[in-house]
């Protein structure tokens, strides 16, 4: 990554979900000037962390039809057959699931992995286990989205809360049509995003590979 690209990534503007946290940090810093240097220091550090965590850089999706893109930054922790979340009604036949773990240092904005129409959104309460472990896909709190692609195939993308994450935000609505790489939500703070590929479609990435949300190609339809 070039120096200019790294600069744009680190200093990208914040996602709207981070505004209340950033504003709170600024208020704390102002109060710290009057009250105590300790409060000032903590508030400044908190504000800087929130500016970094909630950054929302622009991404350029590949201009080629039939691609499935990474829905989030992070690294691939597993690629294996699994049935989509039952609440989506996509059946129990296993399909390839690509699981991406997001650390607190990654960009947490989620992006649609492919162009298509949202056919169902289902939120399920659950546990807050370490999102990097495999059972997080089943046990953790999650928001699952089913997407119907232009060719009639379907896939699922699932936002999963983690050990620290306590809030999943989803801006998508059932019936809404998205372009590949479009923003649809964010998870606070540290999380996981899974993609269940269409039946018969394999992954083009490897476990351990670093993902760039909205740009890295996961699969070719």
Phi, psi dihedral angles at 9 (to 5 degrees) = -70, -45
Residue 204, phi-psi category: left (phi > 0), alpha (psi -120 to 50), beta (remainder)? alpha
Helix locations, the chain, DSSP H = 3-10, 19-35, 37-53, 136-139
100: tokens are 């991406």
Beta strands in the chain (DSSP E): 67-69, 74-82, 95-102, 109-111, 116-124, 142-148, 154-161, 167-170, 177-178, 183-188, 191-196, 210-211, 217-220
Answer yes or no: 132 catalytic: no
| Collapsed DSSP state (helix, strand, coil) of residue 178 | strand
Q: Residue 12: is it exposed, middle or buried by C-beta count within 10 angstroms (0-12/13-18/19+)?
A: middle
Residue of 43, 132, 137, 191 with catalytic role = 191
Active site residues: 191
């Amino acid at each position: 990554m070039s120096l200019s690209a790294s600069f744009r990534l680190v200093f990208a503007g914040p996602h709207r979900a981070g505004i209340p946290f950033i504003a709170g940090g600024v208020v704390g810093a102002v109060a710290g000037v009057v009250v105590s240097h300790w409060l000032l220091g903590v508030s400044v550090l908190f504000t800087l962390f929130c500016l970094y965590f909630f950054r929302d850089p622009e991404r350029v999706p590949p201009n080629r039809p039939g691609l499935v893109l990474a829905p989030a930054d992070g690294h691939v922790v597993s690629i294996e057959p699994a049935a989509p979340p039952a609440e989506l009604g996509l059946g129990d036949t296993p399909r390839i699931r690509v699981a991406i773990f997001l650390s607190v240092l990654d960009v947490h904005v989620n992006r649609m992995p492919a162009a298509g129409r949202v056919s169902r959104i289902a939120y399920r309460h659950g546990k807050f286990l370490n999102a990097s472990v495999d059972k997080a896909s089943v046990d953790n709190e999650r928001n699952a989205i089913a997407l119907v692609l232009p060719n009639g195939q379907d896939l699922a993308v699932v936002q999963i809360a983690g050990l620290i994450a306590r809030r999943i935000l989803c801006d998508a609505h059932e019936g809404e049509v998205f372009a590949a790489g479009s923003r649809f939500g964010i998870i606070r703070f540290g999380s996981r995003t899974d993609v269940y590929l269409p039946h018969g479609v394999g992954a083009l990435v490897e476990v351990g590979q670093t993902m760039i949300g909205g740009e890295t190609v996961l699969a070719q339809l």
